[in-house]
């Protein structure tokens, strides 16, 4: 447990645990795509740290792009997802791996999978560092998953709480 700006933060996944799992994911991705070019598409902003480490664990001809989304809850139960920053170029014919920090309700990934499929890539798969299965509203196929975690709000390693804590090198939970 450490104190950051007055908040009590408990370590859920340490730097060493994250690094070990990401090395495994990178090795699996490298083997599965077997030398073919791959484009990582990081979902902003939460995936930036995971993507930076994952990219270095992948031994393939690699391109990197980013897509920004926002999701908001209307008066209905389902969130509405919208693209705030689009990809920098077309992706037709490319193998795409969507890199996400956390699949929570699954609505962001469902929307992005449908949206990117309309751009005629060779394939689109999902790599998510974290999944909160208890919160799923839709089932999203996660080809490469780091960890399943309990239904707690997590911060650090790219994930924020009201814009803060993205710079923590570990994944933590804020305790009251």
List residues bridging with 43 in a β-sheet: 67
Task: Tell me which DSSP letter residue 143 carries.
Answer: S
Interacting positions 32-61 with ligand IMP (CB under 6 A)? 46
Kindly state the smallest distance separating residue 61's Cβ from ligand IMP, in Å.
27
Q: Using the rule CB under 6 A, which residue among 12, 67, 127, 154 binds ligand IMP? A: 154
Q: Look at the chain and count its residues.
A: 176
Choice between 39 and 69, CB closer to ligand IMP = 69
Q: Is the dihedral of CA 72, 161, 167, 113 positive or negative?
A: negative
Q: What are phi and psi of 121, to 5 degrees?
A: -75, 165
Is residue 160 annotated as a catalytic residue, yes or no? no
What does each C-alpha distance from 9 to 6, 13, 158, 173 come to in angstroms?
Answer: 9, 12, 15, 6
Binding part of the chain for ligand IMP, among 27-35, 54-62, 103-111, 114-122 by CB under 6 A, reads 103-111
* Residue 80 in contact with ligand IMP, rule: CB under 6 A: no
Kindly state the smallest distance separating residue 140's Cβ from ligand IMP, in Å.
8
* Residue 131 in contact with ligand IMP, rule: CB under 6 A: no
> How many residues touch ligand IMP (CB under 6 A)?
14
Which tokens belong to 9? Answer: 């933060």
CB 134: neighbour CB atoms within 10 A? Answer: 11
Which tokens belong to 56? Answer: 């270095």
Choice between 60 and 146, CB closer to ligand IMP = 146
Catalytic residue among 104, 151, 160, 162: 104
Q: What H or E segment, with its residue span, contains residue 49? A: helix 48-56
Task: Give the orientation angle of helix 48-56 with respect to helix 15-33, to 10 degrees.
Answer: 60
* Residue 9 in contact with ligand IMP, rule: CB under 6 A: no
Choice between 96 and 159, CB closer to ligand IMP = 159
Binding part of the chain for ligand IMP, among 9-17, 28-36, 90-98, 105-113 by CB under 6 A, reads 105-113
Residues lying near ligand IMP in the complex (CB under 6 A) are found at: 46, 71, 100-108, 153-154, 159
Residues with catalytic function: 104
């Amino acid at each position: 447990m450490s104190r950051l700006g007055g908040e009590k933060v408990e370590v859920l996944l340490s730097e060493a645990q994250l690094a070990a799992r990401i090395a495994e994911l990178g090795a699996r991705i490298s083997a599965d795509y077997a030398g073919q070019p791959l484009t990582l598409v990081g979902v902003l902003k939460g995936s930036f740290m995971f993507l930076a480490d994952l990219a270095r664990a992948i031994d393939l001809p690699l391109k990197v792009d980013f897509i920004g989304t926002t999701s908001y809850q209307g008066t209905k139960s389902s969130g509405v997802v919208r693209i705030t920053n689009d990809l920098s170029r077309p992706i037709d014919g490319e193998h795409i791996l969507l890199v996400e920090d956390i699949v929570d309700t699954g609505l962001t990934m469902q929307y992005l999978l449908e949206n990117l499929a309309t751009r005629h890539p060779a394939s689109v798969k999902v790599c998510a560092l974290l999944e909160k299965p208890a919160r799923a509203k839709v089932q999203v196929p996660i080809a490469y998953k780091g960890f399943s975690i309990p239904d707690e709000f997590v911060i650090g390693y790219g994930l924020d709480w009201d814009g803060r804590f993205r710079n923590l090198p570990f994944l933590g939970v804020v305790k009251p």
